[in-house]
Amino acid sequence: MESTFSSPAEAALQREAGPGGLLTSREDLDRVYELERISGFISDLGCLRVALQFPDKLLGDAGAVAARLEDITGSKMFILGDTAYGSCCVDVLGAEQAGAQALVHFGPACLSPPARPLPVAFVHGQRSVALELCAQAFVARNPDPTASVVLLSEPACAHALEALATLLRPRCSDLLVSRPALPLPGEGSLNSEPEPLERFGRHFPLAPGRRLEEYGAFYVGGSEANPDLDPDLSRLLLGWAPGQPFSSCCPDTGHTQDESARAGRLRARRHYLVERARDARVVGLLAGTLGVARHREALAHLRNLTRAAGKRSYVLAVGRPTPAKLANFPEVDVFVLLACPLGALAPQPSDGFFQPILTPCELEAACNPAWPPPGLAPHLTHYADLLPGSPFHVPLPPPDSELWDTPDVSLITGDLRPPTAWKPSGDPGSSALAPRPQLELIESSPAALFLSSRSWQGLQPCLGQTPVTGAVSGRRGIAIAYEDEGSN
């Protein structure tokens, strides 16, 4: 029963922790893991204990990297294995348990601010990029020299974007180069210049008066051997302006692909999930990774959002979502995963989920009547963009607003949705138990009504009501041919 609701403890011990032995030659170790920059980061902070976080696929180099950093800095290094939820988030809790004063994160990262203040340095790696092939692919995809284009890349190829832009600027008059939005210690304290636009975990140095929606995109990353969309590219395709071209390029071969069709499929899937959320009566809020800042505030915002829309919400802490875990909650109509931008869009391990899993942005579009129409609303992959203080935050209209009474028809069932009867959270009428005149209590929760209508409601002890009988042998064999069924 324990493994049904949470991952079993044995799974962490039996999981393959990546290939053994050194993955990178010792001659390339300093360059690939940027040990000179990391040693400067540690020395500037004066840290004596530093945590090193590696994903499973890089654990083969962890020992050599830690030993090399200890020799250079003289500080004590602690190697953190992969996190239980996702390797893209900073494991602040693991670093604190080791008494670390700073943390170095290796591999792909979501760049989300951690829930607790801790100096963090990121090392994405440096993947080789065929600059000439990528430049030729760019010119083939963008023959107009006056077109406005942004150069994007996966984190491991970001080091080559400036060199690629140097080859392209003689041919392209309006070229913008993005860079990862890496948090730096004390960033912004002594810099009086205005900060560039930050979107999708990247900085965009836009000229005054220019908007990101005016640019097309050229993405360097991915692999022809693995055509599936990674979460980072999905985030870009969903949030980019629909009217602008978007193409991707393999850094090894220069093969390009127009991503407009895949972006359209992602947006169509999003519209479907928004309709499912509008039809839902019970919403399950999945508490994913808890190491990202403002997750408690976001959880309270989603609960208030569902309450305002007349829906019942339940908070579930199940770790990494799997079909077996979520199948234990058949009364839930849709699930909303509260995680980092990459974790919320990561491909699920199986397609066997009985109910869809949404992002917080899709729940916001379904429950907030003041949210812009689908053609105008951006797809926000980070839940912090929905909270007060963000430029994308849209407050809920007051309870007496006519927006709550707007007729709405489900595009899935074709039924007319009744208007929402929003009652403030402090209203006594919002209680799950409502008194009857005969001093009886009735449960008005949709989940409780669903449970009462089920023919099987779980294992109940029924002490004293079941006669005691002796144990007997059951049927033997497999379902297709039990031993007592004969040969036919």
pLDDT in tens, 95-139: 888 889 999 999 888 888 887 888 899 998 888 899 999 999 999
Residue 1: band (very low, low, confident or very high) from pLDDT cuts 50, 70, 90: very low
Give the pLDDT mean for 225-249: 84
Q: Judging by DSSP bridges, how do beta strands 334-338 and 312-316 pair with one another?
A: unpaired
Task: Say whether 106 sits in a helix, a strand or coil.
Answer: strand
Backbone φ, ψ for residue 2 (5° rounding): -65, -40
Picking from 47-51, 122-126, 181-185, 389-393, which range would have the lowest pLDDT averaged per residue?
181-185
Q: Which long-range contacts (CB under 8 A, 24 or more apart) does 197-201 make?
A: 199/239, 200/235, 200/236, 200/239, 200/341, 200/381, 201/110, 201/111, 201/232, 201/235, 201/341
Same topology for domains 28-123 and 131-182+198-266, yes or no?
yes
Between CA 429 and CA 422 the distance in angstroms is 10
- Taking Cα atoms as reference points, which of 93, 221, 209 lies closest to residue 151? 221
Picking from 14-18, 32-36, 383-387, which range would have the lowest pLDDT averaged per residue?
14-18
Task: Say whether 442 sits in a helix, a strand or coil.
Answer: strand
- Taking Cα atoms as reference points, which of 83, 107, 108, 109 lies closest to residue 97? 83
Picking from 144-148, 163-167, 371-375, which range would have the lowest pLDDT averaged per residue?
371-375
Residue 52's pLDDT is 93
The CATH number of the structural domain formed by 131-182+198-266 is 3.40.50
**Are 215 and 240 in contact, with CB atoms under 8 Å apart?**
no
Mean pLDDT over the full length of the chain: 81
121-157 residues labelled b (16+ CB within 10 A) or e (exposed): bbbbbbbebbbebbbebbeebbeeeebbbbbbbbbbb
**373-to-303, 310, 379 alpha-carbon distances in Å:** 22, 21, 11
CATH superfamily of 28-123: Diphthamide synthesis DPH1/DPH2 domain 1 (3.40.50.11840)
Instruction: Give the predicted TM-score (pTM) of the model.
Output: 0.78
pLDDT in tens, 365-381: 999 988 887 656 677 88
The CATH architecture of the domain made up of 280-417 is 3-Layer(aba) Sandwich (3.40)
pLDDT in tens, 316-363: 988 788 888 888 888 899 999 988 888 888 766 546 788 999 999 999
The full set of domain ranges for the chain reads 28-123, 131-182+198-266, 280-417
The dihedral sign for the CA sequence 53, 58, 61, 65: negative
Residue 437: band (very low, low, confident or very high) from pLDDT cuts 50, 70, 90: low
**Are 304 and 425 in contact, with CB atoms under 8 Å apart?**
yes
- Taking Cα atoms as reference points, which of 347, 289, 273, 235 lies closest to residue 87? 289
**Are 50 and 77 in contact, with CB atoms under 8 Å apart?**
yes
